[in-house]
């Protein structure tokens, strides 16, 4: 019997047949390959380093000599005196479309029990939430409800619509522009700054 065709083409066909046979046998022995397990949301979110406090500087840092540095790229806030860091803490800054402004600012206002005038919930007369996570500028209150601003405890205003305050830190920029702080850090920063304290926000 005479086989017509280039010898290399014949060799390639034979190799392909052996490879296919091996794949079939492997599948029969071991079953189909299992897909890699999906990662949970917690695995995908970058876990930020916890706050660090230099206790040796606690008495040296005052409202008169402190200043604040916020790094958007590092998602960190630094409360400093001179070039010494008293507090180094994770933050959550503004998400896309609500970016935290960059530049040089000063603390304009302090309010330990501040509430948002824009973001919050619609609640009924008994205080029960009817609609959550709304904007008073965009959303209309259902009949029988009123707006209740989201709590922003230990609030230090930086611009007209942006401040530092306690908030949720998911590990990435997630706010409407404000700088969210851990609950154990916000009151410490609040105590060590005053109206007029310099705040530098860098990319």
Q: How many CB atoms lie within 10 A of CB 82?
A: 10
* pLDDT for residue 6 is more than 60: no
> Taking the domains of the chain in order of start, what are their residue ranges?
48-202
Phi, psi of 181 (to 5 degrees): -125, 155
The mean of the pLDDT values for the chain is 85
**Strand, helix or coil for residue 88:** strand
pLDDT at 116: 87
Asked if residue 89 lies in contact with residue 185, where contact means CB atoms within 8 angstroms, the answer is yes
pLDDT at 7: 52
Phi, psi of 5 (to 5 degrees): 135, 165
Mean pLDDT of 26-37: 52
Mean pLDDT lowest for which of 3-17, 139-153, 177-191?
Answer: 3-17
Q: Which fold has domain 48-202?
A: L,D-transpeptidase catalytic domain-like (2.40.440)
């Amino acid at each position: 019997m005479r086989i017509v065709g280039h010898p290399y083409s014949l060799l390639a066909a034979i190799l392909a047949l052996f490879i296919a046979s091996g794949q079939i046998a492997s599948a029969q022995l071991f079953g189909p390959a299992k897909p890699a397990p999906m990662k949970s949301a917690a695995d995908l979110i970058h876990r930020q380093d916890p706050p660090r406090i230099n206790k040796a500087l606690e008495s040296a840092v005052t409202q008169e000599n402190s200043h604040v540095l916020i790094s958007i790229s590092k998602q960190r806030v630094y409360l400093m005196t001179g070039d010494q860091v008293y507090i180094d803490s994770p933050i959550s800054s503004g998400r896309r479309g609500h970016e935290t402004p960059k530049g040089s600012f000063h603390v304009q206002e302090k309010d330990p029990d501040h509430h948002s005038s824009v973001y919050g919930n619609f609640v009924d007369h008994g205080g029960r939430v009817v609609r959550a996570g709304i904007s008073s500028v965009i959303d209309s209150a259902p009949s029988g409800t009123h707006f209740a601003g989201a709590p922003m405890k230990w609030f230090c205003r930086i611009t007209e619509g942006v401040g530092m305050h306690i908030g949720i830190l998911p590990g990435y920029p997630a706010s409407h522009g404000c700088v969210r702080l851990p609950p154990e850090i916000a009151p410490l920063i609040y105590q060590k700054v005053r109206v007029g304290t310099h705040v530098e926000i860098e990319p």
